[in-house]
């Protein structure tokens, strides 16, 4: 194997594949948030759901996924690097990092610079659950769940 081939495989394994997995996890978190908000919106509505309405929901969920990926990339990267430096076993900690990232980002978006002094609102729980699901999806997309599982041998 040449040096170029080795660098190419290293780039794909250490950068490209985790980046694609992170985008997939952001899309999963976006679908969770979108399902809750669209269910609330449709529950109160009186019109039946049309194909155009479902298509617009899909477009909104995809757009929200890109926004989630953009806002969560740096904080999630810092948390994941911190976990690796502390040598914390992966698995549920990826899901926990997603939950912390989702809750913190929504708290700072909702309150701005005064977020440090404000108590958390109930909507932050929704984003924490979406981040938890996103972290679990990231862990599964990157192929981490191979035996021994982190949550079975703690």
Rounded to whole angstroms, the Cα distance separating 138 from 4 reads 28
Are the CB atoms for 121 and 110 separated by under 8 Å? yes
Supply the pLDDT for residue 134.
92
Kindly list the averaged pLDDT for each block of 10 residues, start to end, along the chain of length 154. Answer: 83 83 91 86 72 82 90 87 80 85 88 83 90 90 62 47
69 by Cβ neighbours in 10 Å (0-12 / 13-18 / 19+) ranks as buried
Supply the pLDDT for residue 131.
92
The angle, 0 to 180 degrees and rounded to 10, between the axes of the packed helices 92-111 and 17-44 is: 60
Are the CB atoms for 71 and 101 separated by under 8 Å? no
With H, G, I as helix, E, B as strand and everything else as coil, classify residue 120: coil
The angle, 0 to 180 degrees and rounded to 10, between the axes of the packed helices 51-85 and 123-141 is: 70
Q: Rounded to the nearest 5°, which phi and psi values hold at 91?
A: 130, -105
Supply the pLDDT for residue 132.
93
């Amino acid at each position: 194997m040449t040096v170029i081939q080795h660098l190419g495989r290293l780039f794909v394994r250490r950068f490209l594949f985790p980046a694609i997995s992170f985008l997939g996890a952001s899309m999963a978190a976006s679908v969770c948030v979108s399902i809750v908000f669209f269910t609330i919106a449709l529950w109160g509505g009186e019109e039946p759901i049309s194909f155009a309405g479902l298509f617009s929901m899909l477009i909104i969920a995809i757009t929200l996924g890109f926004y989630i990926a953009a806002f969560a990339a740096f904080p999630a990267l810092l948390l994941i690097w911190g976990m690796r430096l502390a040598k914390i076993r992966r698995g549920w900690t990826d899901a926990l990092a997603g939950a912390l990232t989702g809750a913190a980002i929504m708290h700072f978006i909702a309150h701005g610079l005064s977020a440090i002094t404000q108590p958390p609102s109930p909507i932050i729980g929704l984003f924490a659950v979406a981040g938890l699901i996103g972290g679990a999806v990231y862990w599964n997309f990157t192929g981490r769940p191979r035996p021994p599982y982190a949550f079975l041998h703690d």
